[in-house]
Chain A
C-alpha cells in the first residue's frame, strides 16, 4: 500500500472510464486543492450537534431514542459562522461528494493550520474503496478557545492509497448527502450482539 502522489492523483481524477475514475465533485479549485500527496476538502453546510439534555448516554444496548430527540441539525449558509467550542464534538458533512474506484482507499485528516489550532477533523478516518457519497467529518476542538468555522473553507485533507483486492463499499455510510450520524444500536455488523452485549 503506497500513498498516491500529486501526478498520480491527477491521473486518477482523469481516468477515461467513469466507473474507474476518482470523483471529487465539485473540486472548485484543483490547482489549490491538489497537494503533493493529498487533496484539500471543504466543509459543507450541514452540522449535527448533540442535545445533551435529551441524551442520557450512547450505549449500543439501550439506545432506542429517536435520533432527532438528541441531535440538532444545524444548517450554516456560506459566509456564516459556526462556533466550535473547546472540547465540543460535532459532525459536519464535506462539501464535496466522493466516489473512490475499487483500487483506491483513503484516510481523512486535519490540515496542519487547523490541527495546530486544536481542530481534530476525524476520529474514524478510513474511507473504503468504492465508497460513494459525502464524508462525515467528526470535528473536535481540542484547543482552549472557540474556533469559528465557515462552510466552504478547507479544513481537512484526504490522502489516497493504492488498494489491491478491494471490493466496493456498500455499508451504512454510503450514498449520503450531508452530515450523517451512525446510530450505535443499529450497527448491521452486530449480528452477534447477543453474544457480546448484555441483554
Chain B
C-alpha cells in the first residue's frame, strides 16, 4: 500500500502562523483590560508585558517564514503553545481580580531590594503564593528566538527586572494574609546564599565529613545484601544527592521565613501560622518538595523575632486602650511557643538517618544564612521602634472604622509605614472583638477590616508619592 502523500512544509508553516495569530489576537484582546498601576505615577506593568508579547510575536512571524524544516516549525509551534501561559497570567491580573494595594506594596518592597523592578500581580486558582522572574523568561526568549541584529529592538523591554507575583484567588481580598509575600521575597536571598556557599571554604571543608557519614550510612544499609561496588557507589551518590536536596530545601525555606519576619515582623508570623495550621505540624520532609516541618519553622521564626526584639511591645504597653490587643497577641504567641516547645518534628527527623545528616548539616549553616538575610534586607527591614509608636492610634482608627494610614496632629499628619497598618489590622483581628458591640467579630467585620487595611496601604503609598511630588515641584496651598 502506498504511503499517504506527505504534507508540504508550507502546510506546517501556515499551521504555525495560525497559532501565532491566534495568540496575538488573544493578547490584543487583553490589552483593553484595566490593570492596576504599581505606583500612582507609573503605568501598569501588564501593558508592558502585552507590548513585549506583541513585539515578540511580530518578529517570530519572520522566523516562521524563514524556517526551512519541519523540525524548526515544530519547535516554533511548541514555543507559541507554551507562550499561551501568558494568557492565563494576564487574564486575572486586571483590577477586578487584583487589589491595587497589593501590587503597590509588593512593587515598593521589591523596588527597595532590586531597584527599578516592575511587578505583575495576579490571582491563581491554586492555593499558592509565588514570585516568578518574568524578566529572565523575556531575556531567554529574545536571545533564543530573535536574530542578533534585531535584539536591540527589545532593549527597552529588557531594561528592568519584571516579577510575576501569584497569590491564591480565594485570598484575593485578604490583605492580612499577603504578609506571606515576605517569605516569597526571601527566595532570591536564599538562592544567593546557596550560590555563595559553593565558594565558601568553611562550607566546602565540611563536605568530606558529610561524605564519610554518607559512606557509613550506605554501608549499614547494604550490610548483608551482597551489593557489588558499583551498586554501592550508585547508592552513595544517590544518598549524597538526596541529602544535598533536603539541606538545600530546608535552608531555602528557613532563610525565606527569616526574610518574611525581617520585612513584615510579626505580621509575617501570623500569616504563616494561619497557613501552616491547615497542614500537619510534624510532616517529615518528603520526596519531591522536602519542605521542613511547620513546627520547626514556627520555632525558628519565634527565635528570630526574639532575637530581633520584635515581640517586645513594652514601650506601648502602658497605653490602657491597647493593652487588650496586646494581651490577645501575647496569648497567640504563647500558644505558638507551647506548640514549638514540643519536639515531635525533631524526633521525626532524627529517626531517619538521611534526614538527620541533612538537618545537622543544615543547622551548622543556619546562623550564617540568617545573617546573610539580615544584610540583604536592611533597606526593607521592619523597624519596631517606629512602627510600635504608631500602633495605638492606628488601632483606635480601626475601632472607629477609619483606615489606618496616618497618625499624629491632624493639621500635619504623619503617613505611617504600611507595615504598621498591617500590624494594627492583625492585632484587631487577633483580639476578635467588635469595639462597638463588644461581641466577637463577624465575617462581615473582618471583611471590612481587610478592605480598610487595603485602603490604608493604597493611601500610604499615594500620600508618600504626592508629598514627594509637592516637594519636588514646590507646590503650595
Contacts and interface: CB of A to CB of B under 8 A. Distances in A.
Interface of A: 10, 13-15, 18-19, 21, 23, 25-26, 28-32, 45, 73-79, 97, 99, 132-133, 152, 174-175, 177
B contact patch SS: loop
Contacts, number: 85
A28 B96 CA distance: 26
A18 B400 contact: yes
B451 interface: yes
B402 A97 contact: yes
B257 interface: no
A71 B51 CA distance: 29
Contact of B34 (A10, A26, A76, A175): A76
A64 to B, nearest CB: 23
A28 B397 contact: no
A97 B463 CA distance: 14
Given A21-B410, A73-B96, A29 B470 contact: yes
Interface string B15-47: 000000000000000000010110011011000
Contacts of A177: 403, 451-452, 454-455
Contacts of B94: 75
Given A31-B476, A175-B448, A177-B455, A99 B406 contact: no
B118 to A, nearest CB: 14
B459 interface: yes
B95 interface: yes
B400 A132 contact: yes
Contacts of A30: 411, 477
A23 B402 contact: yes
B266 to A, nearest CB: 24
Contact of A25 (B34, B95, B406, B466): B406
A168 to B, nearest CB: 9
Contacts of A14: 409-411
Given A21-B410, A23-B402, A26-B405, A79 B96 contact: no
B41 A18 contact: no
Contacts of B405: 25-26
Contacts of A28: 462-463, 466
A-B pairs, top 3 by smallest CB distance, nearest first, are A31-B477, A75-B95, A77-B37
A78 B455 CA distance: 15
A25 B403 contact: yes
Contact of A26 (B37, B401, B462): B462
16 contacts: A10-B411, A18-B396, A21-B410, A26-B405, A28-B466, A30-B411, A32-B477, A73-B96, A74-B34, A75-B95, A77-B34, A78-B40, A78-B41, A97-B452, A132-B402, A177-B451
Given A18-B400, A175-B448, A45 B100 contact: yes
Contacts of B459: 25-26, 97
B96 A97 contact: no
A83 B36 CA distance: 18
Given A13-B411, A14-B409, 5 more contacts: A29-B475, A77-B36, A78-B40, A132-B400, A177-B454
Contacts of A74: 34
A78 B463 CA distance: 13
A25 B402 contact: yes
Interface in B447-464: 448, 451-452, 454-455, 459, 462-463
A154 to B, nearest CB: 13
Contacts of B41: 78-79
Most B CB atoms within 10 A — which of A10, A26, A74, A97?
A26
A146 B40 CA distance: 25
A79 B40 CA distance: 8
Contacts of B477: 29-32
Interface in B333-381: none
Nearest to B447: A175
B283 to A, nearest CB: 39
Given A26-B462, A75-B96, A177-B455, A99 B36 contact: no
Contacts of B34: 74-77
Interface string B212-229: 000000000000000000
